């Protein structure tokens, strides 16, 4: 595999632990039509270019933490920095994996976006809808917690605030191009990125998971560039397409340059860009193939770029982001969709719904609502291209799916100049409410662990703001750290129970330490999860663990935490949020 980006590693003062509130605003630059182009960083793989004129965006370039492009028009830059900080913290990622130094945050009137450039290549890994009100700019979608409201990303990574990546996707967007050898489908080409797959089939994991060095989260992939325009900023990336999945024993090896036939390869790159707008609730996604090698690319038929954005987990969609509820094709009129039962019960294969081109709107709510409705437009329809949705149970995501860049024919490079194919654009639309319908409130109950006595707690003791149980292997019997507390629910409510937990040592034996579950009316176990020691990211740091549910009947649900008898653990609170 060719790493264009290796030279840049030493230039970023990367320290994953420094993403935080105090560092977001340390350098403020202003660019406008009068400013000259300037180099953004000391890196030779990332640069900024002045595009149009009359733009007025502030650039906050912190010593640590992502570079912030503030195009909101909000007078107080600290206000925008606070929004970015809340968005970053709300994802719950370990500092190395979340928004950090080397990455970009864009903020306009209608959205805040995390463009990842460490471990991923110019990828939109977080997207938050904003209310468009300059005087009181705020998130459109957030949920109650026991310590204020948490903004919720419209994309899958970190949507639950528990620092989780999609289980078998590279961040919030995937790309793949089928490759053929010996007359059969041999493998997939794509971009090798940092994420690791958990329960994907082995032929996907073998290449993606080959590099398990923690430093894989530190590096840019390919070459990135930021172009400052007129009321818009474009985040570009160009990265090599190499083999990322193998289907046969004799398939092309992981990381092989793009095979153009059974024997020859070429340096084919995927050039992508996101254009973000200061005053429009849309995002343009650009795709282009670039041949920087010596062999011609002559793709036919199925040889096209397959991919799309990951909106939410599947079959566990975020309770406020059930985009499968309502759908509109080529118009504004949402109709009930819900092709599958909640949590995909009975689903045996991926459910795909695609058109050749057009406009698609998805909504969790019957009327468009900021942060809970999203759309996509694909204009061009080359032979065999399509776009739509996949409720993909195999890879674990609800995605905008389909394909672009079909039938690309690219000559080899000429002298030093690569040949470039045509550019194709998809438009992501952040659909917004167009009437004054009242939004249904989230119902929220906070259960503080420090409240109650032995009736709530079988083991442990009050410990400041929570309830803890000490490590005493071999002596303590397992028992409930928290139980017998109920929250009323109406039949059909969907929601999430959020457990705020802490451990003393992450680095001990990686064994099960806790079980969390949810009972309905004292008997039906709606959801259950076993938590291992190394599911915690850091020592003595509060971390969210969540269980999704749909109430099967009117009555009560009981969130429980069962200690398995080994490790020191502390519960701060359990929050139960739901909507109907
Ligand atoms: Ca990253
Ligand atoms: Ca507490």
Per-residue pLDDT of 257-288, as tens digits, reads 999 999 999 999 999 999 999 999 999 999 99
Q: Could you tell me if 481 and 562 are in contact, meaning their C-beta atoms sit under 8 angstroms apart? A: yes
* Ligand closest to CA 194: 1
CATH dotted code for 443-579: 2.60.120.260
* Ligand nearest, relative to CA of residue 571: 2
Rounded to the nearest angstrom, the distance between the alpha carbon of 573 and the centre of ligand 2 is 5
Nearest to 237 by CA among 250, 227, 247: 227
Nearest ligand by distance to the CA of 451: 2
Residues contacting 334, CB < 8 A, separation 6+: 326, 327, 328, 361, 363, 366, 367, 368
Q: Around 560, how many Cα atoms within 13 Å sit in the side-chain half-sphere?
A: 26
User: Residue 444 C-alpha to ligand 2 middle, in angstroms?
Assistant: 15
Return the DSSP state at 257.
Answer: B
On whether the CB atoms of residues 11 and 41 are closer than 8 A, the answer is yes
How far does the centroid of ligand 2 lie from the alpha carbon of residue 447, in Å?
8
**Ligand 1: centre distance to CA 235 (Å):** 15
> What's the CA-to-centroid distance between 446 and ligand 1, angstroms?
32
Going by C-alpha positions, the residue among 522, 523, 528, 525 that lies closest to residue 561 is 528
Q: What is the pLDDT of residue 45?
A: 44
Nearest to 137 by CA among 177, 86, 201: 86
Give the separation between CA 247 and CA 260, rounded to whole angstroms.
17
pLDDT number for residue 278: 97
Give the integer Cα–Cα distance in Å for 314 and 312: 6
Which ligand has an atom closest to residue 468 CA? 2
62 vs 55, higher pLDDT: 62
Contact 45, 224 (CB under 8 A): yes
Rounded to whole angstroms, the Cα distance separating 367 from 283 reads 21
User: pTM here?
Assistant: 0.91
Tell me the ligand closest to 96's alpha carbon: 1
Closest CA to 493 of 548, 551, 446, 443: 551
Q: How far is CA 86 from the centre of its chain?
A: 16
Ligand nearest to the CA of 94: 1
The SS3 call for residue 107 is: strand
The pLDDT of residue 32 is above 50: no
Residue 491: strand, helix, or coil? coil
**Ligand 2: distance of its center to the CA of 89 in Å?**
19
Measured in Å, residue 493 CA sits from the centre of ligand 2 at: 25
Question: Distance between CA 410 and CA 299 in Å, rounded?
Answer: 9
CA of 101 to the centre of ligand 1 (A): 9
Per-residue pLDDT reduced to its tens digit, 74-130? 999 999 999 999 999 999 999 999 999 999 999 999 999 999 999 999 999 999 999
Q: Coil, strand, or helix at residue 507? A: coil
CATH 2.60.120.260 residue ranges of the chain are 443-579
d(CA 419, ligand 1 centre) in Å? 29
Ligand with an atom nearest the CA of residue 19: 1
Using one digit for the tens of pLDDT, what is the confidence trace for 463-492?
999 999 987 665 568 999 999 999 999 999
151 Cα to the center of ligand 2, angstroms? 21
Q: How many whole angstroms from 446 Cα to the centroid of ligand 2?
A: 9
Q: Is-contact 222 238, C-beta < 8 A?
A: yes
Which ligand is closest to the CA of 572, given by its number?
Answer: 2
**What per-residue confidence (pLDDT) applies to 475?**
54
Mean residue pLDDT of the chain comes to 89
CA of 122 to the centre of ligand 1 (A): 9
Question: Per-residue pLDDT for 8 more than 50?
Answer: no
| Residues contacting 64, CB < 8 A, separation 6+ | 13, 15, 18, 19, 20, 23, 100, 101
Confidence of residue 438 (pLDDT cuts 50, 70, 90): low
Q: How far apart are CA 254 and CA 210, in angstroms?
A: 9
């Amino acid at each position: 595999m060719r790493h264009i980006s290796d030279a840049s590693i030493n230039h970023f003062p990367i320290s994953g632990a420094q993403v935080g509130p105090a560092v977001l605003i340390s350098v403020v630059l202003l660019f406008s039509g009068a400013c000259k182009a300037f180099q953004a960083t000391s890196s030779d793989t990332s640069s900024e270019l002045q595009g149009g004129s009359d733009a007025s965006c502030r650039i906050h370039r912190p010593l640590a933490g992502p570079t912030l492009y503030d195009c909101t028009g909000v007078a107080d830059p600290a206000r925008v920095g606070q929004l970015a900080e809340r968005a970053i913290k709300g994802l719950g990622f370990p500092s190395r994996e979340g928004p950090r130094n080397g990455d970009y945050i864009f903020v306009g009137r209608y959205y805040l976006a995390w463009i990842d450039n460490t471990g991923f290549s110019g990828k939109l890994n977080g997207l938050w809808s904003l209310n468009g009100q300059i005087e009181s700019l705020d998130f459109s979608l957030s949920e109650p917690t026991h310590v204020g409201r948490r903004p919720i990303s419209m994309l899958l990574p970190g949507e639950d605030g528990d620092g989780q990546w999609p289980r078998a996707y590279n961040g919030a967007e995937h790309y793949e191009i089928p490759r053929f050898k010996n007359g059969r489908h041999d493998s997939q080409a794509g971009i090798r990125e940092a994420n690791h797959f958990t329960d994907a089939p082995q032929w996907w994991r073998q290449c993606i998971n080959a590099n398990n060095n923690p430093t894989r989260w530190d590096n840019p992939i390919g070459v990135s560039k930021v172009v400052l325009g007129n009321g818009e900023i474009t985040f570009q990336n160009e990265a090599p397409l190499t083999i990322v999945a193998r289907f046969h024993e004799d398939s092309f090896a992981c990381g092989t340059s793009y095979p153009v036939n059974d024997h020859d390869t070429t340096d084919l790159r995927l050039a992508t860009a996101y254009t973000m707008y200061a005053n429009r609730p849309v995002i343009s996604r650009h795709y282009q193939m670039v041949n920087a090698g010596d062999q011609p690319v002559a793709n036919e038929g199925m040889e096209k770029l397959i991919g799309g954005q990951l909106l939410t987990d599947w079959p566990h969609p975020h309770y406020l982001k059930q985009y499968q509820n309502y759908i509109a094709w080529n118009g504004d009129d949402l109709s009930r969709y819900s092709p599958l039962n909640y949590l995909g019960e009975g689903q045996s294969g991926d459910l795909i719904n695609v058109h050749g081109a057009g406009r698609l709107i998805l909504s969790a709510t019957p009327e468009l609502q900021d942060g809970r409705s999203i759309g996509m437009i694909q204009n061009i329809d080359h032979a065999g291209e399509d776009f739509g949705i996949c409720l993909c149970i195999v890879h674990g995501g609800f995605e905008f799916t389909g394909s672009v860049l079909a039938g690309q024919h690219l000559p080899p490079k000429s002298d030093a100049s690569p040949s470039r194919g045509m550019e194709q654009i998809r438009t992501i639309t952040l659909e917004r409410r167009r009437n004054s319908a009242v939004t249904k409130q989230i119902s929220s109950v906070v259960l503080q662990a420090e409240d109650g006595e032995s009736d709530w707690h079988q083991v442990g003791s009050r410990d400041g703001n929570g309830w803890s149980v000490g490590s005493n292997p071999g002596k303590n019997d397992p028992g409930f750290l928290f139980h017998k507390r109920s929250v009323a629910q109406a039949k059909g409510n969907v929601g999430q129970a959020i457990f705020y937990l802490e451990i003393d040592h992450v680095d001990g034996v990686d064994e099960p330490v806790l079980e969390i579950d949810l009972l309905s009316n004292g008997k039906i176990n709606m959801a259950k999860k076993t938590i291992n020691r190394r599911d915690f990211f850091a020592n003595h740091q509060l971390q969210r663990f969540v269980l999704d549910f749909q109430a099967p009947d009117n009555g009560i649900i009981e969130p429980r935490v069962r200690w398995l008898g080994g490790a020191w653990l502390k519960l701060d609170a359990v929050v139960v949020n739901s909507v109907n």
